[in-house]
Structures are given as C-alpha cells and as structure tokens.
C-alpha cells in the first residue's frame, strides 16, 4: 500500500502547554500518543503582551516587561519537560516558546503535525467556559486532527 507524501512528513504530535491543569492533561495524552505511534513530541508555549500593556498606543506600560513575560513562558516550557521526564523516556521531545496569540501560534506549529493536542481551557478567559477560545480556534483552523482534553477533575461536573 502506498502512502502520500504528507503522511511521511507528519511525524510529530504538537501540544500546547501553558501550565494549567488542562494543559498538563493534554501533555500527558500527547506524550502517550507520540510514544504509542513512534512520533516525536513538540511542546509549544506561546506568550503575548496583553492589550493593556500598550497604554494609549505609546508603547509598553512599565508594569509589563516583554522580557520577563518571555522568561516566564520559558519557565513554563521547562516545567513541561520536567513533567515528561518521569514518563517519556526514549521519546524525542522539543520545546518551542514563541511570541504571539496562542491560538494562531498553535495552528502554525501544527502545520506539519500528525495531531495537535490542547487543553479545553487554559489560564486565560473565563473559568466557567467549557471550551476555551484557543481550543475552539485550533479545532476550526488546524490542518491536522485536534484532540481537546479536559482536566481529570472535570469527570462528571455539570454547570
């Protein structure tokens, strides 16, 4: 049986990681998926300055230092690697920390992916929303299958 060129190129599972419980659940599932399918794992952490950082269009407000925000994102990505060390021996893992809207960054990073895995909610937005804007955007725009993972504590919750 022949396979298409695209199938050969899609050797990576991409997962969005912001440190939230939903992202941790997504990371665990993505690592299992990559290991089971013999694929590599790309952990993506995106950061951006909130709109409030640009007071009156005059530049970043003093309370928001882009360098500090980027360092915090790098620490989050490093935490993902720590979480994976115990469970992912032998798994090829790379991390990418990128500036930009998380939804757009994840769709871009998943352009060559076999699967994109995201948590149903992250640190942004309203806690009561069942499906966050990032996961909705990814599901609508990614060029690969998207798995949206709920945190383990959501089992039978209704609300």
What's the CATH code of the domain at 15?
A: 3.40.50.620
Counted domains in the chain:
1
**88 in a domain, yes or no?**
yes
**158 in a domain, yes or no?**
no
Q: How confident is the model at residue 88, as a pLDDT?
A: 60
Give me the sign of the Cα torsion angle 70, 72, 150, 121.
Answer: negative
Q: How confident is the model at residue 50, as a pLDDT?
A: 65
Q: How confident is the model at residue 66, as a pLDDT?
A: 81
**CA dist., res. 156 & res. 99, Å (int):** 35
* Tokens encoding 4: 């298409």
Per-residue pLDDT tens over the stretch 34-72: 999 999 999 999 998 766 656 555 655 556 678 888 999
> Could you give the 3-state DSSP secondary structure of residue 133?
helix
**2 in a domain, yes or no?**
no
- Cβ(132)–Cβ(106) below 8 Å: no
**CA dist., res. 141 & res. 159, Å (int):** 28
For 103, the domain range is 8-52+60-150
Stretches where the chain sits below pLDDT 50 are 1-8, 125-130, 156-159
**3 in a domain, yes or no?**
no
**Residue 39 contacts by C-beta under 8 Å, 6 or more apart in sequence?**
11, 12, 13, 33, 114
Q: Supply the pTM of this predicted model.
A: 0.80
């Amino acid at each position: 049986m022949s396979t298409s060129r695209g199938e050969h190129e899609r050797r990576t599972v991409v997962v969005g990681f912001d440190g939230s419980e939903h992202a941790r659940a997504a990371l665990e599932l993505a690592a299992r998926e990559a290991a089971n399918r013999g694929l590599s794992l790309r952990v993506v952490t995106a950061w951006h300055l909130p709109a409030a950082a640009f007071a009156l269009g005059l530049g970043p407000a003093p309370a928001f230092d882009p360098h500090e925000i980027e360092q915090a994102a790098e620490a989050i990505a490093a935490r993902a690697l720590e979480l994976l060390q115990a469970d992912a021996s032998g798994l090829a893992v790379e991390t990418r920390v990128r500036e930009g809207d998380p939804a757009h960054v994840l769709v871009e990073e998943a352009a060559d992916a076999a699967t994109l895995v995201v948590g149903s909610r992250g640190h942004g937005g309203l806690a009561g929303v069942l499906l966050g804007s990032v996961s909705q955007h990814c599901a609508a725009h990614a060029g690969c299958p998207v798995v949206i993972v709920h945190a383990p504590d959501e089992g039978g919750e209704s609300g």
